[in-house]
Structure 1
């Protein structure tokens, strides 16, 4: 088992990519601490023999409490910053409070959790930080200004942390997938259809997959297996990277 005796804290673990990562990590022997705002992740944690901590990552105090509770359960060896949300709006119509909330969840909360879990990783001279970013950490699309700004920032944070902690045996990488078959993407499809005034099938074909060489959505399990590799000792020489799983989107 590749992650035997390792403890992994995974945010946004109730569905989609986070759920898939939790299942793959459990298969490989990791002890799990699962976070989500929705309480249904508690059932997943129980099924996988892990612990569930409910926390709202849009609240900085709640993020601090999550980190404190996780560290009380034992050192966190692997941190997976996966929690996400989306809002579709033109820049000039974007609500400022929503902008701030999006950046808190997608960028500031990962910074906080990295900050709080790093000291123990440094002391043990081993750690893995995996930030689930997005293809939109590398490129832009209209109507997603907060999401894209946060994901670009997350890549910058990933690179900076990697440079600061490499001497301690800690790696920090980002995974940048194109559209993954998750509940969040399903909601994006509906939002874009309304914003653009086109059918949902057209959103998938003409917006999401138009630049891609491989014309399908990515499955959550594909991202999870990549996260497993980055969390393992086999990836000890990889850090500060944006690992792209983009169906050929950025090959153009």
Structure 2
């Protein structure tokens, strides 16, 4: 039997990048990914790609900072499939500025997407998970859940916050067979990271190649980027857990950038 036979997994920010890879992998192992994304056309394209490979998938439009949209996306999913087994809270953005002149509006926007989004999507899914006595919640953290980098005050703050959120849910959800864990990737060459390379080069006054070698990958053991496949491996590991033994944990996937 496939590892995720008919399990319904909502993945936010799943129209591209890490989220899309996670959705494709769930489908390949018998799961039904719900592609929740701001860009409904792109979400539908990902769902169609999965269906073309004889899988099932469902696309929903979702701004994770909008409670009404989140509740509707979850309700539509439950109306279609009768349940929601897994949540992967993956939607995120990056904005870089020195702390001293970081615009407050950008601070609020980034925290809203990463933290409010995780809270709202989890809350919407939990009532269904609790009723079913089954749920697997995985938050997309970062090495920045453990470490800090210059120019990333709200991102580092938000990613640290997700670990606290997971720990609370791990304790509250245990009696309902709901686990909560955090996957913490290093730098992955997604559009989010590609955008940062020239931005950091400009902010730090160095070349793009120096940003990659001396900033992003400096602390890795082999100078290699983490891949979307690496991250999906870790997410599916937590999602497949059969009991509460793995809950409240954070797993770093970073070529040794952060060791614990």
1:80 aligned residue: 88
Alignment of 1:63-142 (within 5 A): 63-73=70-80, 74-142=82-150
Distance, in Å, in 2 between the alignment partners of 1:16 and 1:96 is 27
Quote the offset at 1:235 in angstroms: 6.6
TM-score (norm 1): 0.95
Alignment of 1:1-252 (within 5 A): 1-38=2-39, 39-48=41-50, 49-73=56-80, 74-234=82-242, 236-251=244-259
Q: What is the alpha-carbon root mean square deviation over aligned residues?
A: 1.5
Distance, in Å, in 1 between the alignment partners of 2:131 and 2:34 is 20
Quote the offset at 1:236 in angstroms: 4.6
Structure 2 contact 64–121 (Cα < 8 Å) conserved: no
Quote the offset at 1:145 in angstroms: 0.6
TM-score (norm 2): 0.92
Structure 1 contact 9–80 (Cα < 8 Å) conserved: yes
Quote the offset at 1:225 in angstroms: 1.5
Quote the offset at 1:31 in angstroms: 1.2
Distance, in Å, in 1 between the alignment partners of 2:22 and 2:68 is 26
Q: Show structure 2 runs of 5+ residues with no match.
A: 51-55
Quote the offset at 1:246 in angstroms: 1.9
SS of residue matched to 2:258: helix
SS of residue matched to 1:233: coil
Assess, with a 3 A threshold, how the Cα gap between structure 1 residues 95 and 58 changes in structure 2: closer, same or farther.
farther
Quote the offset at 1:180 in angstroms: 1.0
Regions of 4+ moved over 6 Å: none
Alignment size in residue pairs: 252
Quote the offset at 1:185 in angstroms: 0.8
SS of residue matched to 2:180: strand
Quote the offset at 1:250 in angstroms: 2.0
Structure 2 contact 174–244 (Cα < 8 Å) conserved: no
Q: Show structure 1 runs of 5+ residues with no match.
A: none
